[in-house]
Amino acid sequence: MNKRLLRRLDFRLIAVVACIVIISIVIIGSATHINTPSDERYWYVQRQGISAILNVALALFLMNFDYKMLQGYGNRLYIFNIIMLLAVMLFGHAALGAQRWIAIGPLTIQPSEFSKLIMIIALAAMLEERVGKINTLQDLLPIAAYVGLPFLLVLKQPDLGTSLVFMAIFFGMIFVCGIKLRLLAGIFAFGAAMLPVLWQFLKDYQKMRIMVFIDPNVDPLGSGYHIIQSKIAIGSGMLFGKGLFGGTQSQLNFLPENHTDFIFAVVGEELGFVGGAALLLLYLVVLWRGVQIAKDASDVFGRLLAVGITSMLAFHVLVNVGMTMGIMPVTGIPLPLMSYGVSSLTTNILAITILLNIHMRKTKLVF
């Protein structure tokens, strides 16, 4: 890598992301070391750690290439995305009531995770020439259809949480494109009016998740169990927590999915309010840097990429942390860079790599 480019790396963003990943590996170890056989006690830690190392190596390699190259691959990436999501429907295997995974040799990947980043790249390439030109519903419809197809394919899996991430990306990016606020307000008003109709298309378990969000005691041993146990875990941590490897809700397996979707509850129980607040502060720095990188980007395509990535990360943090505390419905959205999952970790590190790339090339080098 060019030394001048190397000096332009956003070391604040790198340091914060490294801290989150290290915390993740420690918390995953705490959450899983009792609930796995002794010979596989740190299997999740090893897998997540190896994945992190490989992804860092991949990120270092990709930093040698200008992110502007991605603009020419927008349509091809979009087509690949559709094929990948269709392959999940035809050849994917189901787990926990959803068909979201594909096995490739010893690896099991979740294409919908990669789909989010691919959608950001493809949509940024599409919108680059439409900045300031989204003034009517007619201007917006082709963009909505472009996002709508992968959105529906992910929703079909079913994966409501990831499909909602597509919406967050969509609205974040068209907002930066200069969409008329009156048109945007009309879309939100129409969406609110359609909620009773959309309710009829939700599956029973999805309806129950919304009901237990309002009152977890509606089904305390079923759909409400996750929220109740998560709130107990976070509340019992109080100010400084019970200490690493000292959480009872997590260690005694009362807290379901404690190394994936509900990992923030483990942080709250074992590190307390102080630990949870510190982790949220780290995420705040990541999002702040994302906004600054978008603001300083040297071109429209880079700005749109940065906004799409920041919107994706912000939505993930807001919904995941919110659902563990009972202020958001349970949707199965992982906490970026924290929740166990090779596909999720790879997607997020690649997203951070693109942000670093945009920052590094915000002005042309002069030789």
Residue 136 predicted with pLDDT over 80: yes
Averaged pLDDT, 235-244: 90
3-class DSSP assignment, residue 360: helix
Averaged pLDDT, 346-358: 96
Taking residue 52's Cβ as centre, other Cβ atoms within 10 Å add up to 20
More confident residue, 367 or 53: 53
Note whether residue 352 is domain-resident.
yes
Per-residue pLDDT tens digits for 21-57: 999 999 999 888 776 665 566 888 999 999 999 999 9
The continuous run of DSSP H or E covering 279 comes out as helix 263-296
Residue 364 predicted with pLDDT over 60: no
Note whether residue 366 is domain-resident.
no
Task: Identify the domain containing residue 56 by its residue range.
Answer: 3-360
Asked, as a colleague might, if the bond just before 158 is cis with ω within 30 of 0, I would say: yes
Which pLDDT band, with edges at 50, 70 and 90, does 4 fall under?
A: confident
Note whether residue 12 is domain-resident.
yes
More confident residue, 284 or 332: 284
Which pLDDT band, with edges at 50, 70 and 90, does 133 fall under?
A: confident
Angstrom distances, CA of residue 219 to CA of 185, 200, 216, 226, 327: 36, 20, 6, 10, 17
Per-residue pLDDT tens digits for 72-110: 999 999 999 999 888 888 776 665 555 667 766 667 778
| pLDDT recorded at residue 365 | 40
In what side-by-side order are the strands of the sheet with 93-95? 93-95, 98-104, 107-109
More confident residue, 77 or 132: 77
Note whether residue 171 is domain-resident.
yes
Among 189, 193, 264, which residue's Cα sits nearest to residue 233?
A: 264
Note whether residue 339 is domain-resident.
yes
Note whether residue 259 is domain-resident.
yes
Percentage of residues in the chain having pLDDT higher than 70 = 92
Burial of 171 (0-12, 13-18, 19+ CB in 10 A): middle
Q: How many domains are contained in the chain?
A: 1
When mean pLDDT is compared across 121-125, 193-197, 213-217, 238-242, the lowest value belongs to 213-217
Read off φ and ψ for residue 14, nearest 5 degrees.
-60, -45
Global pTM reads 0.91
Residue 253 zone, left/alpha/beta (φ > 0; ψ -120 to 50; rest): left
| pLDDT recorded at residue 98 | 59
Burial of 98 (0-12, 13-18, 19+ CB in 10 A): middle
Averaged pLDDT, 274-282: 96
Note whether residue 275 is domain-resident.
yes
Note whether residue 365 is domain-resident.
no
